[in-house]
A and B are shown apart, each in its own frame.
Chain A
Amino acid sequence: MSEAHPGYQPPPVAIHPPGHGHTPHHPYLQHHFDNMEQQAEASTLGMWTFLVTEIMFFGGLFMAYLVYRWQSPLGFQEASHHLNIYWGAANTAILIISSLTMALAVRAAQTSQPVRTQIGWLVSTMVLGAAFLGIKAIEYSDKFRDHIVPGPYFQWEGLYPKPAEQFYSLYFAMTGLHALHMVIGLGIMAVITWMASRKTFDSEYYTPVEVAGLYWHFVDIVWIFLFPLLYLIGRHYHAA
Chain B
Amino acid sequence: METTAAPLNYLNNGHGLASWLLTRDHKRIALLYLWSITVFFFLGGFFALMIRLELLTPAADMVQPETYNKLFTMHGVVMVFFFLIPSIPAVLGNFLLPIMIGAKDLAFPRINLLSWYIYILGGMFTLVAAITGGVDTGWTFYAPYSTSASNSHVITAGVGIFITGFSSILTGLNFIVTTHRMRAPGMTWFRLPLFVWAHYATSLIMILGTPVIAITVLLVAVERGLHLGIFDPALGGDPVLFQHLFWFYSHPAVYIMILPAMGVVAELVQAFSRKNIFGYTFVAFSSLAIAIIGFLVWGHHLFVAGQSTYAGLVFSIISFFVAIPSAVKVFNWTATIYKGSVSWDSPMLYAFGFIGLFSIGGLTGLFLATLGMDIHMHDTYFIIAHFHYVMVGGAIFGYLGGMHYWWPKITGRMYPEGWARFAALNIFVGFNLTFFPQFIVGYLGMPRRYAMYAPEFQIYNVLSTAGATILGIGYLIPMDYFTWSLKYAPLAGDNPWGARGLEWEIPSPPPTENFTATPIVTEGTHQYAPSREVGIV
Which residues of A are interface residues toward B (Cβ below 8 A)?
A: 1-5, 7-10, 12-18, 30-32, 34, 38, 41-42, 45-46, 49-50, 52-61, 63-64, 67-68, 71, 150-152, 162-163, 165-166, 169-170, 172-173, 177
Contact = CB atoms under 8 A, between A and B. Distances in A.
Contacts of A2: 414, 490-491, 493
B250 to A, nearest CB: 13
Nearest to A11: B500
B227 A150 contact: yes
Given A14-B522, A31-B513, A32-B103, A49 B228 contact: no
Interface of B: 103-109, 111, 169, 173-174, 176-178, 180-182, 207-212, 214-216, 219, 222, 226-230, 235-238, 241, 244-245, 274, 343, 345, 408, 414, 417, 490-493, 495-500, 502, 504-505, 513, 515-522, 528
Contacts of B528: 8, 10
B515 A15 contact: yes
A105 to B, nearest CB: 23
Contact of A46 (B105, B108, B215, B493): B108
B229 A42 contact: no
Contact of B169 (A12, A53, A60, A172): A53
Contacts of A71: 238
The 6 A-B residue pairs with the shortest CB-CB distance in the complex, in nearest-first order: A60-B215, A57-B211, A169-B228, A32-B104, A32-B105, A56-B211
B59 to A, nearest CB: 41
Contact of A151 (B227, B345, B521): B227
Given A42-B107, A60-B219, A15 B519 contact: yes
A5 B241 CA distance: 56
A42 B104 CA distance: 14
A132 B362 CA distance: 52
Nearest to A37: B181
Contacts of B176: 45, 49
A13 to B, nearest CB: 5
B274 A16 contact: no
Given A52-B207, A60-B211, A166-B235, A10 B495 contact: yes
27 contacts: A5-B345, A5-B498, A7-B498, A13-B505, A13-B520, A13-B521, A30-B109, A32-B182, A42-B107, A46-B111, A50-B169, A52-B208, A56-B208, A56-B212, A60-B215, A60-B219, A63-B245, A64-B219, A64-B230, A68-B237, A71-B238, A162-B229, A162-B236, A165-B235, A166-B230, A169-B228, A173-B228
A150 B229 contact: yes
Contact of A60 (B222, B228, B236, B245): B245
B253 to A, nearest CB: 14
A153 to B, nearest CB: 10
A10 B207 contact: no
Nearest to B245: A60
Most B CB within 10 A of own CB, among A1, A3, A31, A162 = A3
A8 B496 CA distance: 10
Nearest to A57: B211
Contacts of A57: 211-212, 214-215
A54 B522 contact: no
B6 to A, nearest CB: 11
B517 A15 contact: yes
Nearest to B495: A9
B211 to A, nearest CB: 4
A160 to B, nearest CB: 10
A173 B222 contact: yes
B207 A42 contact: no
A10 B173 CA distance: 33
Contacts of A55: 211
A13 B241 contact: no
B517 A50 contact: no
Contacts of B345: 5
B408 A163 contact: no
Contacts of A7: 498
B513 A32 contact: yes
Nearest to A12: B505
A38 B103 CA distance: 12
Nearest to A172: B228
Nearest to B110: A30
Contacts of A8: 274, 498, 528
